Each structure stands twice: as structure tokens, then as C-alpha cells.
Structure 1
Amino acid sequence: MKKKDIKEIITCLGEERRLFYYHKDRYCFDLLRYAMAKNKHQTCKLNQLKQSQFGQFFTKKSVKEALSTYGQGKISQDQLACCWLEKPFIFVLTLDCWGNGDRGWDQTSRNQSNLVLQINFTGEHLDNYYSLIKPDKDDEGPFASDSHPINTKGRHTMAWVRLDFDLDTNEALIEEVQNDWLRDANRAYMRLKTRRKRNPNLKPSDVWYSINGDYEGLSRYVETILPPTNKFGLKHHWQQPYSLFEKNWALLKSTTTPMKREKK
């Protein structure tokens, strides 16, 4: 995307606080709603949704349980939006811009920029973070990567996503997904836990920067406070993500000659 288009999107959406309520497999219900909206259906028979491109979701236990009360009848977009089987986790969403048109440096498919979606912790989590980790006050903290497009306006980013949009077709490419915070918190804890086998007196600050809390605090934070977010299925996966809609974004029109992607 062109930087001016990204800035216009951010300006139009405003900077007010946006909450996102996450529960397991929420994306399934969101995409089923998308399929209905795409076909301009406020209500739809479940059999029709099973025949859509997202029909595979009906094999998931969570989807089966949520939709079991509807039998083979109709369901509305609003009803799909209310399919919550458990208490949701709440995050604050913010937007930003990444890249200055240098594909090699910015790691973008096109010599343009990306819209960044930042998934930030709420105040409830941060209360535990400050009391248990006791981070330095003059930097981003021990689990944030300031070389990545994280929020720097008072919020702490759990994970972020870089997106490129094709405004002509209303399609999006997920360029990159990172969860620095979860990864580094677990790394710090495992490093300390391993080294304490030889030296039981080691403190978190001996193996990781900006942690002024004690071993018990770090242990509780990683093993008790973070597990709900660790259960989201975030894991090490280095392959480039692919869209449900096949498109070679590296060959789309950009500011310079696009780079061809090697065939697999």
C-alpha cells in the first residue's frame, strides 16, 4: 500500500480505544459472517454455509457445539457474532504504518508500505506485569522489541500483524505475524530456570535485561498470568503465510519492477 493511503485509513478510523474480544476459533464465526455479507445475506441456512468456501469449519468441535441449537435451520450474522462458548480475552487494538518503500529492508512484497495491526494488553494484565516483573521505566521493557512495529504511545503490544491491501479487489495479504512479548517472556524464564540448576541464587536480572523482580515473580508471570494467551496457538512457524485467496502479491503493481516469487 502507499503510505498516504495507510495514513488516510488511520485518520478515518481515528485513534479512539478499540477493544477486541477473543475466544477460541472466533475467526471461524467471523469468516462465516464474511461469507454471508459477501453474498448480501442477513440470514442464511446452515447447509448453505456448509457449501461455502469456509465449510471446513463445521468439522471443528467449537463450531459444532455453538451451532448445534440451530439444527439445519437459519442463522443470522448477528447470531454468529454472539457465538461465544467461553469467557473472552480482551485486547486493545491500534493501527500504525510500517515501511518506506524499500522491499529489502522493510521485508515487504512490494516496494510500498504496510498497515500494522497491533494487539495490545489491557490494564488488568499490565497491573500484574508491573508488580511481578518490575521493568525499568526508561525503556520499552524486557519483552518488547523496539525494532518492530509495536505501539509506542503508552500501550504494550502482545503481538502485531503487517498487512498489505489491494484496494481494487478488497483483498489483504498478511505479510508477517510476530508475538515478541510471549516469546521473549518464555525465553527469559526458561533461561533463568535452566541456569538456576547450577546457581540457585541467580536472579532474573542476571540473565535478562530490564527485569527487576525476583525469580518467584517471573515464574508466576510466565506460568500463571501468560498461559491464557499462550493457549491461542501461537508457536514457532517461519514459513510465509498464505491467503485463502490465491494471489501472487509480489507481481502486483508497485513503485518499481516487482520481484518474481520462486515456484515451489
Structure 2
Amino acid sequence: MKDRDIVIADKLDAASQPRRLLFRYYKDRYAAMLLEDLLQPRLPIRTLREGRYGRLLDRPPIKALAAAKGDGWLHQNDLWRLWPSEIEIYVVTFATWGSEKSCERRWNQTSRPRRQLVLQLNFPHSHDVQYQRLILNAKNMPFNYRHHPVNQEGRNILAWARMDIDIHSGEALIEEVQNDWIRRMERHLANAVRGYGPFRKPEARENLKLYAETVMAPHVAIWSEAVLSAALHLLGQVFRTRRVWFHYFDTSCEIKNLRKKWKPPRSLYTDLPKRFCFELTDEPPEFILPAQPRCLRSRLERREGRFWRLDAEPPVIDQCL
């Protein structure tokens, strides 16, 4: 094993040790988190609007904040005071995924043979209480899929982000943002309405419908932006990455050899990174190229693929203070 691979393995092992971290999130908090890293301590709102992060000013909490700023400046500490009365407190845990054997790369759906870090976003305690009350077979975890990187300590996992972190280059690739819980819950509900499946009985069916419409609705609305926000925060604060890549749908499916039903929802690899101000580029991440088949590698080197890229920009220091 090369020296830098040992460093990566050590960091992954350290990050994946059993820990319990809390991640507080409200709708559109990602916009405030991205802007917080840019403002030290303030910038003119007009300057922000004309830059690459201008779309963040259209998010409702930021839009309302900017409208109330009579002086035309957005301060970093303005964002710290944005917290609404209702937030979700998720529990973040970590795991590793994948193998260093080339023959297992396709099965693991990784862009190269490598152990990857998985950030798991687990439900808040308030959800788990209602889940246990409404779902009669809750202990069997009917909305989990054990062949995916679910929490091995019995926590109820909402979603996860899987990351290929290249310590040598200071870059990382978001391989996957996914959840099973919502998809399987919706499938069980559809089956119950048709009169079959484990929730077909009237009481179980009505409880599942109530669970989906009340308990799960807030999480359905924010899960993808919440887990990506947590992943970017980890990459920036712990691994100090200078560039984060995100797969583009079509190129990702080709690299991972995903066919038909194995393809993920397109919006997660188109709309989501765009919302976070990733830029679409034909430049590939250099660190995944050696693992690709010769033909595909040549095409990527000829800039025939697509990736999303987010560079860590140095904070803009306000010289007027």
C-alpha cells in the first residue's frame, strides 16, 4: 500500500469510529452555510447577487434577510441569527464502503477501487418516537435495505452521502447521495392501498398513511439538501478539501456501469448540485482516471464527459472596516 493510501485509510478509520454528532438543519440552511464561508465579515448584497453564489439570495430565508438590510450589506453574523423556531436535529454517524479490489468496483458502484467514507444522516429522536408508535413492525425496519450502507448500530437512517476523498490532491468526489427509507415507505404505502403487502390491514394501512403525511413530510422536503450540506461541511472542516466534485447523471451511470432500474433519480445528479452552486464542467477528476477502462479514460481526457465542480474560494475580507 502506498504511503498516501495509508494516510487515507487512517483518516477514514478515524472518521468512521463510532461517534454521535448532532446536525441541526432547517429548510434552505445550505444557502446560509455556503454564504457563511464567504463572508468575513461582510459583502455588498449587489456584489453577491452578481457572483456565482447569487442564486442563494433567492432562497426564502436569505431573500427575507437581504430585503430587511437597509444598508445593502450582508454580514456573516446576520446569517447566524437566521435560526427559525422549528428545526430538525439529525444524528450523524459514519461508516466505510467499498473495496480496494478492482473486481469488486462495479458491484460497489464506485468510480475506482477504494474504500470510501459514508456520512449517515439518522432521524431525530422525535421521529423515532412517532415511528415506533405508528409502525406496528417497526423493530423489523421495513424501510431499510441491509445491502446498502445502513447504520449497523440499529439507528433509523434517513439518508447517506458516499465520498471518495483523495488526500493527495486535496479533492473529493461525492459518489452518491441516496435514501432507501422514503422510497421503500412510498412503495409499501402504494401496495397497502392496493390491498397487499405487510401494511394491507386497515389499521396498519391508516397508520402508515398518517406516518407518511405527518411525521415524514418535513424530512421528505429537505433530506437531499440536508445530507449534502452535512457532507460538504465535513469535507471542508475535517478534510480541508480545496475542490469537491459531484457526479453528473449520464457520466456517472457510464463510469459505474449502471443500467435501467439501477440508475438513481436524475434530479439528484442535476438539480441538487446546481442548487448548491456547483459548476458544470467537462474536466474530469484526475484521481479517478487511472481506474477507468482505456476507451472511457480516453473519452474523459478528451473532455467528452460531464462533472459538477465546487471550488473552495478564499473568504472575501471587507477592506472597508
- TM-score, length-normalised on structure 2? 0.66
Read off the aligned partner of 1:35 and give its amino acid letter: L
- Cα distance change on mapping 1:66 and 1:60 into 2, 3 Å: same
Give 1:5's match in structure 2, choosing from 8, 16, 21: 8
Equivalent position of 1:148 in the other structure: 148
CA distance in 1, matches of 2:288, 2:214: 48
CA distance in 2, matches of 1:233, 1:124: 16
Residue by residue over 1:100-144, the C-alpha shift from the partner in whole angstroms, topping out at 9 and shown as x without a partner, is 02321211112212211111012221111112112264x5x1000
Match of 1:252 among 287, 296, 319: 287
Residue 28 of structure 1 aligns with an amino acid whose one-letter code is: A
Alignment correspondent of 1:110: 112
Residue 186 (structure 1) shift: 1.2
1:207-222 alignment runs, 5 A limit: 214-222=204-212
Aligned to 1:122: 124
1:14 Cα offset (Å): 5.7
Structure holding more helix per residue:
2
The residue type paired with residue 238 of structure 1 is R
| Cα distance in 1 for residues equivalent to 2:221 and 2:172 | 26
Residue 199 of structure 1 is matched in structure 2 by none
Secondary structure of the 2:24 match is strand
CA contact (8 A) 2:25 2:88 kept: yes
Give the deviation of 1:188 after TM superposition.
0.4
Call closer, same or farther: CA 1:13–1:42 in 2, change over 3 Å: farther
Q: Secondary structure at the match of 2:68?
A: helix
In 2: Cα distance, 1:206 partner to 1:154 partner? 22
Alpha-carbon spacing, 1:6–1:48, altered in 2? closer, same or farther (3 Å): farther
CA contact (8 A) 2:192 2:198 kept: no
**Aligned partners of 2:125 and 2:24: how far apart in 1?**
15
Paired residue for 2:236? none
TM-aligned CA deviation for residue 13 of structure 1: 8.0
- 2:246 is aligned to none
Q: Distance in 1 between matches of 2:117 and 2:29?
A: 22
| Mapped contact 1:6–1:97 kept (Cα < 8 A) | no
Q: Aligned to 1:32, what secondary structure does the other structure show? A: helix
Question: How far apart are residue 218 of structure 1 and its match?
Answer: 1.4
1:73 to partner: Cα distance: 2.1
TM-score calculated relative to the size of structure 1: 0.78
CA contact (8 A) 1:6 1:114 kept: no
CA distance in structure 1 between the partners assigned to 2:38 and 2:170 by the alignment: 14
Is 2:113 aligned against 1:97? no
Q: Quick one: percent identity of the two aligned structures?
A: 29
Count of matched residue positions in the alignment of Structure 1 and Structure 2: 245
Unaligned runs of 5+ in 2: 225-263, 306-321
Amino acid at match of 1:132: L
1:19 is matched with 22
Q: Distance in 1 between matches of 2:16 and 2:44?
A: 33
User: C-alpha distance in 1, partners of 2:28/2:138?
Assistant: 36
